[in-house]
Amino acid sequence: MSVDLLIPTNYQVHLFHEGNYFESYRLFGAHVIHTNNKLCTRFCVWAPNAKNVQLLGDFNSWNGTGYSFEKLNNEGIWMLIVEQDLEGSYYKYEITTSNGEKLIKSDPFAFYSEVRPNTASIVYTLDGYQWKDQRWLQMKNRKKVYSNAMVIYELHIGSWKKKEDGTFLTYCELANDLIPYVLDHGFTHIELLPLVEHPLDISWGYQGTGYYSVTSRYGTPHDLMYFIDLCHQNNIGVIMDWVPGHFCKDEHGLHRFDGTYLYEYETVMDRENFTWGTANFDLGKTEVQSYLISNARFWMEYYHIDGFRVDAVSNIIFWPNSENKENTFGTDFLKKLNKTVFHYDSSVLMIAEDSTDWPQVTAPIHYGGLGFNYKWNMGWMNDILDYMESHPNERSKLHEKVTFSLMYAFSENFVLPFSHDEVVHGKKSLLNKMPGDYWEKFAQLRLLLGFMMAHPGKKLLFMGFEFGQFSEWKDKEQLDWNLLDFEMHRKTNDYVKELMKIYKRSKPLFELDHLSEGFEWIDVHNYNQSIFSFIRKGNLEDDFLVIVCNFKNHTYEDYIVGVPKAGSYREVFNSNEIQFGGTGVVNKKVILAEDKVFHGKPFSIKMTIPPFGISILRPVKHRKERKGNGKEEVRSNVISRRKGKQA
């Protein structure tokens, strides 16, 4: 056996220490390697301050005698070659620190782990899965993400749905149940709460110990590949929540890995994340940069992940426990991360969960930005929920809560989020945030969702909103599926499906999401009635929608709205339809615009405004006005053929 083939190259080691080895998972961890017609298993770990490292496992009765690692060239990298195929074996590292303390650690680069509460790593070969998503990958690379519809369904695998005995669905079972559900509702993407291995269920994956190890709660790595593959075959993108800012302090994990603060900052105030009880990654350490950026690359390569929602960006760009003091290590890391990810795949979604007003989060790095392509609009989310939770009679005093977001809506590429964070810890569900009686709650939920779809920005919603879950998210239980036995919840579910359809087939609602040219107020000053009217525009000059939102429980007959164009208007969507649980106050007939200036527009229409409702109107296009749909050309060719002419 040629051992030289198994030893890391000097170039690999150099890049890792330099912070530029973005495929570190090929070097570190456990790898079954075929060489000279034999199989062996190579173990490699970074522990520069260790005195000794031994391999413990079920193959040696958890006794490391005779399984000592060799330190390579005093570079802090330890390696051991076991001349056996240890695929499926359980293992850990016994690390002797400089002061003689013995630490039993899981492998930071393990690809698979024991089901909690056990914590051993498992030798697992990721190769071998036959992907069938080539068509998706080709389409994704051609797709212009900024000018396309995007509605993300955020979910926690462990509590979306459970088996009858209360156990978790596996990744494969989830694929069979979730994908048809997502298709039926019209979501374009699924976002999964962190998939990394984590010891505590109630951390939801945000306090991880195994960044390269798919949580075994729901199955094997190949099972997750099957789930993502099937999503792609059904044209559904998959985004994962990812936490490069801090990690779990459980003793088997990264914390004090070799007896020193190896992965985390050295000083207490920088290291300790007192809010979550975790340790903050030392983002200025080049080896940590290699570890984390390699991790993003790993999920892209092996799991075909389409995007990352990067958690707690504010905890990265500012020093922890400081008064908003910039952490240049953090900002430099984010720029390096985004630059590297887009180098490998320009179609990946890099979404910053950032609650600060840090400028140019989604601007390119060469223009001074952080390089993300999307940012959560936390300001919009907080403002609109404050507005909706207020009594309708008080909303005239909070008018700016609705209008202020349009002052900065085009300063970044935004995702509008109603995430899991807004429906836990006593915050109540979206439905139950709405004031008023039973009917009013549902009406306002429909209005809120409609306004969200009409507002510039891509969309994200947490599971359960789509049928009006009354209770807030209970992470130990499945969603309240029994609510679909009740009429108003079924009608809410029907409403969401129809709302998705109108959103996805209406280019003005997404085509110019990130450009001010795509939005225009009609009436922004109606404080007393809490009615807002505006225009959403597509690329074509005559492709626009008129949207009117009424945030009070009053009906208004012959309400005048200024419009930019003469002709007829048809109401294409109304949240007050009886089939959605509304009162049926809608605009059934075509509305003819009058040659009368109103709201600063050259024409105006008279319409009925439903209570707690959103109305979407589209100008009626006569046949000769319909451009770009190919019908004129088809009709001309048919006529020509009938006359015996060559088309």
Running DSSP on this structure, what letter comes out for residue 326? B
Torsion angle defined by CA atoms of residues 203, 206, 207 and 208, in that order, rounded to the nearest 10 degrees: 120
CA distance 124 to 29: 10
- Helices 221-233 and 134-142 cross at an angle (nearest 10°) of 60
Residues 6+ apart with CB under 8 A from 588: 571
Q: Which two tokens stand for residue 252?
A: 């088997």
Q: Which two tokens stand for residue 164?
A: 């009858």
Beta strands 568-574 and 591-592 are: antiparallel
Q: Are 547 and 454 in contact (CB under 8 A)?
A: yes
- Placement of tokens 């280019």 in the chain: 507
Cα within 13 Å of Cα(466), Cβ side: 25
Q: Are 208 and 197 in contact (CB under 8 A)?
A: yes
CA distance 42 to 81: 4
Q: Which two tokens stand for residue 304?
A: 């075909």
Q: Are 125 and 226 in contact (CB under 8 A)?
A: no
- Placement of tokens 């492709």 in the chain: 543
Q: Which of 353, 354, 383, 543 is catalytic?
A: 353
Q: What long-range pairs does 542-545 form, CB within 8 A, spacing at least 24?
A: 542/619, 542/621, 542/625, 543/507, 543/508, 544/508, 544/619, 545/454, 545/506, 545/508, 545/509, 545/572, 545/616, 545/617, 545/618
CA distance 310 to 296: 10
Q: Are 420 and 203 in contact (CB under 8 A)?
A: no
Clarify whether 354 is annotated catalytic: no
Q: Are 423 and 464 in contact (CB under 8 A)?
A: yes
Beta strands 237-242 and 196-197 are: unpaired
- Placement of tokens 């994956």 in the chain: 205
Clarify whether 311 is annotated catalytic: yes
Beta strands 102-105 and 90-96 are: antiparallel
Task: Using alpha carbons, select from 170, 241, 151 the residue that is nearest to residue 178.
Answer: 170
Rg (CA), the chain: 28
Q: Which two tokens stand for residue 574?
A: 């109304």
CA angle 508, 509, 512 (to 5 degrees): 65
Task: Using alpha carbons, select from 541, 549, 550, 533 the residue that is nearest to residue 507.
Answer: 541
**In 3-state terms, what secondary structure has residue 378?**
helix
CA distance 562 to 546: 9
CA distance 498 to 210: 41
**In 3-state terms, what secondary structure has residue 387?**
helix
- The CA–CA distances, whole Å, from 41 to 7, 33, 80, 82, 212 equal 12, 6, 8, 5, 18
Q: Which of 94, 229, 311, 466 is catalytic?
A: 311
CA distance 307 to 385: 27
Segments of 156-306 assigned E as strands: 189-192, 196-197, 210-214, 237-242, 246-247, 272-273, 278-280
- The CA–CA distances, whole Å, from 639 to 13, 93, 305 equal 72, 79, 49
Q: Which residues are catalytic?
A: 311, 353
